[in-house]
């Protein structure tokens, strides 16, 4: 009797396997947690990863560099004094664009990188030796019936990290002003401050504000208080607003997406931070409590 049951179970399992191979059916274990392993899980990953042996070899090559970075971290922890890290009225440069090496700290993407549009962009050195974020914005939609909006280019700083590939956050609590020295083309750009945490629920948290440029041959220095930034998630302004947690800055970015077809160009000298004692505003937008399950108009 047991032999007959085993034979039937084996035949059922064989039929199920054949159906999976023919029809492409796949089964997986049930997940009871709302968790995503990758923040770009919705996109296909065509990267080819090296073998484990090659990964070990590459890791040993980087070991010397990581130890040097770790020693710098230890030195800063003993020598740094928060009271001396900034001076009132002076700009501390966070990113300066002056060489090819400085461009390696940034990642440039557009909608065409994921087959979601036809925009193109790049980050290079200008003829003046400064960073040049340029490209062509295209709002034409791909004819796939899936994409509803297009026309997007972005440059984003690499996430801050410690030695041995440990993710961390930048601490901007001593400052209250963001400073940019740029030479624009008259178009508007979006400034993005990401506070991405270590849990997937915070991966899309971003604070945004508009950078208006005037064009022409002259440089402009734009000073934007952190209190003016608006909280959004996945490109949508949230009903519940709050100020930027300046001790948890993951990255900074600049986006071109003003829905105007054609070339754009933004030359950048530096991006810095400043403390202005005369600016006492904590948050620029009125916050008030509403009844539960009722959103304001």
Q: How far are the Cα atoms of 55, 95, 100, 121, 133 from residue 136, in angstroms, in the given order?
A: 37, 24, 22, 6, 11
Per-residue model confidence as pLDDT tens digits over 232-288 = 988 888 888 889 999 999 999 999 999 999 999 999 999 999 999 999 898 898 776
What pTM value is reported for the model?
0.75
Share of the chain above pLDDT 70, in %: 75
Distance CA 185, CA 212 (A): 10
* Most confidently modeled range among 161-165, 182-186, 232-236, 286-290: 182-186
Per-residue model confidence as pLDDT tens digits over 102-117 = 999 999 999 998 888 9
Query: 150 — phi, psi (to 5°)?
Result: -145, 170
**Average pLDDT of 94-103?**
92
Residues 6+ apart with CB under 8 A from 83: none
On whether the 88-274 domain is CATH 1.10.10.10, my answer is no
Distance CA 28, CA 119 (A): 37
Position 219 scores a pLDDT of: 94
* Most confidently modeled range among 12-16, 48-52, 147-151: 147-151
Q: Is the pLDDT of residue 295 over 60?
A: no
Higher pLDDT, 39 or 297: 39
Q: Is the pLDDT of residue 185 over 80?
A: yes
- The mean predicted confidence, pLDDT, of the chain is 80
Higher pLDDT, 116 or 160: 116
Q: Is the pLDDT of residue 213 over 90?
A: yes
- CA-based angle 38:40:41, to the nearest 5? 65
């Amino acid at each position: 009797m047991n032999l007959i049951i085993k034979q039937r179970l084996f035949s059922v399992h064989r039929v199920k396997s054949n159906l999976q191979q023919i029809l492409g059916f796949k089964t997986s274990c049930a997940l009871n947690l709302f968790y995503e392993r990758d923040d770009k899980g919705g996109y296909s990953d065509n990267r080819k990863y090296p073998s484990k042996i090659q990964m070990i070899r590459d890791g040993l090559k980087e070991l010397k560099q990581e130890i040097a970075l770790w020693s710098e971290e230890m030195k800063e922890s003993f020598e740094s004094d928060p009271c001396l890290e900034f001076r009132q009225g002076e700009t501390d440069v966070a990113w300066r664009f002056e060489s090819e090496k400085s461009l390696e700290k940034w990642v440039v993407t557009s909608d065409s990188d994921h087959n979601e549009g036809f925009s193109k962009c790049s980050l290079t050195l200008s003829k003046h030796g400064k960073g040049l974020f340029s490209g062509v914005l295209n709002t034409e939609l791909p004819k796939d019936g899936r994409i509803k909006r297009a026309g997007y280019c972005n440059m984003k700083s690499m996430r801050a990290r410690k030695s041995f590939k440990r993710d961390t956050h930048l601490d901007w609590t001593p400052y209250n002003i963001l400073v940019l020295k740029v030479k624009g083309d008259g178009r508007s750009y979006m400034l993005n401050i990401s506070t991405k945490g270590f849990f997937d629920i915070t991966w899309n948290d971003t604070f945004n504000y508009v950078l208006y440029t005037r064009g022409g041959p002259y440089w402009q220095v734009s000073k934007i208080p952190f209190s003016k930034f608006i909280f959004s998630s996945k490109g949508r302004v949230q009903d519940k607003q709050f100020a930027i947690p300046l001790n948890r800055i993951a990255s900074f970015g600049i986006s071109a997406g003003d829905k105007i077809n054609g070339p754009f160009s933004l030359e950048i000298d530096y991006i810095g931070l400043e403390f202005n004692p005369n600016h006492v505003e904590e948050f620029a937008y009125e916050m008030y409590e509403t009844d539960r399950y009722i959103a304001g108009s």
